[in-house]
Structure 1
Amino acid sequence: MKIVILGSGVVGVTSAWYLAKAGHDVTVIDRQPAAALETSFANAGEISPGYSTPWAAPGIPLKAVKWMFQKHAPLVIRPRAGLAAWRWMAQMLANCTQARYAVNKGRMVRVAEYSRDCLIALREETGLEYDHRTRGTLEVFRNQQAIDAVAKDIEILKAGGVPFEMLDRAGCVAAEPGLKAASHKLVGGLRLPGDETGDCHMFTTALAEKAAALGVKFHYNTAINRARADGNRIVAVETSMGDVTADIFIGALGSYTPAFLKPLGLDLPVYPVKGYSITVPVVDETKAPVSTVMDEAYKVAITRLGSRIRVGGMAEIAGFEMDLPKARQETLTLSVEDLFGGAGDQSQAVFWSGLRPMTPDGTPVIGPTRYGNLYLNTGHGTLGWTMSCGSARVLSDLISGVKPEIEASDLAISRYAA
């Protein structure tokens, strides 16, 4: 079949790869001059199936109120965020029950664990190099209350068969020797040995080259204007290079997917939650992280990428604004210097922001729509890199008429109809 994918982030490119491997004629269209130049460009670098957790959780509403009065809060809500933001937050609050949290986290872990397995297989097949490491994720806690709060996550990890270790202060230092100088600030940690790290931009651009070698056509610098429908089918997508026709269309436009779908009468509850990162060169190996360390206090991920340290985090409700406030960089710098002081050269920090396409329940939207030839692969939030390969493989199987290897019926946009 002739398939057109709208979007060339990590989700769009992995979709192109699996669909091309399945024998389809694939074209990718993007307004950017190359692949992975938006949300996939400088994310936190973690591939963390075990850390796949909905933001909508019991206790979050109260925490959000407290964060509003903190200088280095992990969540910032700008007053001019708009009605779309408040509507999305209301939907998110509806998911902050124990029952919904269990369902949502179970779905997320299912997709993420499968995705990690798909990534390993893809890496073995292609030999891709992207500064990857397979040394797990360590979430560190600064007080006993934080450790007690993670109990609900551990129960879900157990139910899903996800390996984990609860570590004391000495165990955290054994896993991440660079924490030695800061060990007195920690009371323990949760280690997920199955997690990985890697440069998402490097991976995506390398995979795009492999996909092109398979025959995938990439049209960059191309604006995507709107889709034209006839009944329950999309007949064409209007772009700056003219009308594009196909047997199947896939929306993988991240935070911009809802605007593309709205004229079609499809209401996709995806909101652009802004995140930030800094990237600094390593100047002292003995003080640097060896993999990913999650700083639970600031909700910041500190990841080793080759000779660099990537520090990513924050959640800002601010619409599509792409400014770079100094205060956000200060929070990221505070976290990494507090735990790995002197490991990186902060004078050479590269500051970046990206829009994470977040659903109110945390689970991405993968699968068909009410239009027979329109599929979606979007809404991965902070876990696009983690879930990309599995999401793409599931979508490829659905389109190819092959039963996916994991349950996928509860991943499509139809779950919001209820």
Structure 2
Amino acid sequence: MKIVILGAGVIGITSAWYLAKAGHEVTVIDRQSAPALETSFANAGEISPGYSSPWAAPGIPQKAVKWLFMKRAPLILNPLFDAATVKWLAAMLRNCTAERYAINKARMVRVAEYSRDCLKALREETGIQYDHRTQGTLEVFRTQKQIDGIQKDLKVLEAGGVPFEVLDVAGCVKAEPGLSGARDKLMGGLRLPNDETGDCFLFTQGLAKKAEALGVRYLFDTTIDGIRTDGNRVVAVATSAGEIEADVFVAALGSYTPQMVRPLGLSVPVYPVKGYSITVPIANESRAPVSTVMDEAHKVAITRLGGRIRVGGMAEIAGFSKALPQKRKDMLTYVVEDLFEGAGNQSEAKFWSGLRPMTPDGTPVIGKTRYDNLWLNTGHGTLGWTMSCGSGRVLADLISGLKPEIRTDDLALSRYG
């Protein structure tokens, strides 16, 4: 079949790869000049199936109120309360129950674990290089209350068969020697040994080239103006390069997916939650992280990417703003220096922001819409990199009429009614 994919981020490119492998004729359209130049460009770099958790969790409403008055808050609410923002926040709050949290986390871990397996197979098949490491994720806790609060997560990990280690401070330092200078600031940690790290941008660009060798065609520097339908089918997409027809269409536009499909009467509950990162060259190898360290107190991930350190985090409700306030950079700098003092050359830090496509329940939207040939692969939030290969493989199987290797009926848009 002829398939058009809207969007050339990591989700669009992995979808293109698996669809091309299945024998389809694939075209990818993107407004940028190359793949992965928006949200996939400089994310935190962690591939963390075990850390896949919805932001909507019990206690989050109370924590959010406290965060509003914190100097270094992980959640920032700007005074932007349009209808879309209010509706999305209300839906997220409805998911902040123990029952919904367990359901949503189980879904997310299912997709993320499968995705890691798909990535491993893809890496072995292609030899693709992207500054990857397979040395796990360490979540560090600064208070006993944080340690006590992980029990519900441990039950989900146990149920999903995900290996984990609960560590004392000495165990944390053994896993990440660079933390030795911060041992007095820690109370313990949770290590997920099967997690990985890697540069999403390098991966996506490399996979795009390999997909091109399979026949995937790219239309870069091409704006998508709209989608034309006839009855319950999509006929074509209108672009700056003219109308493009196909048998199947896939919307993988991240945070921009809702506005693209809204004229078709589709309501996709994806909101752009802004995140930030800095990337710094390593200045002192002995103080640098080995893999990924997640600071639970600040919700900031610190990841080793080759000779660089990527520091990413925060969740800002600011619509589609891509501004780069200095105080956000200062927050990331503070966290990495507090835990890994002197590890990176902060004078050469590169500051970035991206719009994470978040659903109210944290689970991505993967599956068919009420239009027979329009599919969605979006809403991965902070876990697009973690879930990318699994999401692409699942989508390709569904479109090809094959039974996916994991359950998918609760991933489609239809779960929202």
Q: Matched residue pairs, number?
A: 417
**Alignment correspondent of 2:165:** 165
Task: Give the Cα separation in 2 of the matches to 1:413 and 1:87.
Answer: 17
Counterpart mapping for 1:374-393 below 5 A: 374-393=374-393
Give the letter aligned to residue 402 of structure 1. Answer: L
**Contact in 2 for aligned 1:81/1:319 (Cα 8 Å):** no
**Alignment correspondent of 2:349:** 349
**Alignment correspondent of 1:258:** 258
**Alignment correspondent of 2:270:** 270
**Alignment correspondent of 1:207:** 207
User: What stretches of structure 1 move > 3 A for 4+ residues in a row?
Assistant: none
Q: Secondary structure at the match of 2:166?
A: strand
Give the letter aligned to residue 54 of structure 1. Answer: P
Counterpart mapping for 1:67-146 below 5 A: 67-146=67-146
Q: Secondary structure at the match of 1:57?
A: coil
Task: Give the Cα separation in 1 of the matches to 2:328 and 2:360.
Answer: 23
**Alignment correspondent of 1:281:** 281
Task: Give the Cα separation in 1 of the matches to 2:83 and 2:289.
Answer: 41
Q: Secondary structure at the match of 2:161?
A: coil
**Alignment correspondent of 2:217:** 217
Q: Secondary structure at the match of 1:314?
A: strand
What is the aligned-residue RMSD (CA, Å)? 0.5
Post-superposition Cα deviations, 1:283-331, rounded to whole Å, max 9, x if no partner, equal 1000000000000010000000000000000000000000000111111
TM-score normalised to structure 2 length: 1.00
**Contact in 2 for aligned 1:81/1:318 (Cα 8 Å):** no
**Contact in 2 for aligned 1:139/1:296 (Cα 8 Å):** yes
Q: Secondary structure at the match of 1:71?
A: coil
**Alignment correspondent of 1:314:** 314
CA displacement at 1:86 relative to structure 2: 1.3
**Contact in 2 for aligned 1:81/1:317 (Cα 8 Å):** no
CA displacement at 1:80 relative to structure 2: 2.3
Task: Give the Cα separation in 1 of the matches to 2:143 and 2:209.
Answer: 46
Give the letter aligned to residue 248 of structure 1. Answer: V
Task: Give the Cα separation in 2 of the matches to 1:145 and 1:115.
Answer: 32
Q: Secondary structure at the match of 1:79?
A: coil
Task: Give the Cα separation in 1 of the matches to 2:227 and 2:308.
Answer: 41
CA displacement at 1:85 relative to structure 2: 1.1
**Alignment correspondent of 1:156:** 156
Give the letter aligned to residue 162 of structure 2. Answer: V
Q: Secondary structure at the match of 1:80?
A: coil
**Alignment correspondent of 2:331:** 331
**Alignment correspondent of 1:195:** 195
**Alignment correspondent of 1:179:** 179
Task: Give the Cα separation in 2 of the matches to 1:123 and 1:170.
Answer: 34
Post-superposition Cα deviations, 1:231-272, rounded to whole Å, max 9, x if no partner, equal 100011100000010000000000000000100000000000
Give aligned-pair identity as a percent.
73
TM-score normalised to structure 1 length: 0.99
Give the letter aligned to residue 386 of structure 2. Answer: T
Point out where structure 2 has 5 or more consecutive residues left out of the alignment: none
**Contact in 2 for aligned 1:226/1:237 (Cα 8 Å):** yes
Task: Give the Cα separation in 1 of the matches to 2:314 and 2:82.
Answer: 19
Q: Secondary structure at the match of 2:80?
A: helix
**Alignment correspondent of 1:35:** 35
CA displacement at 1:83 relative to structure 2: 2.2
Q: Secondary structure at the match of 1:100?
A: helix
Give the letter aligned to residue 391 of structure 1. Answer: S
CA displacement at 1:84 relative to structure 2: 1.1
Post-superposition Cα deviations, 1:65-110, rounded to whole Å, max 9, x if no partner, equal 0000001100001002522111100000000000000000000000
Task: Give the Cα separation in 1 of the matches to 2:74 and 2:81.
Answer: 17
**Contact in 2 for aligned 1:279/1:309 (Cα 8 Å):** yes
**Contact in 2 for aligned 1:163/1:192 (Cα 8 Å):** yes
Task: Give the Cα separation in 1 of the matches to 2:152 and 2:29.
Answer: 42
CA displacement at 1:27 relative to structure 2: 0.3
Task: Give the Cα separation in 2 of the matches to 1:362 and 1:91.
Answer: 11
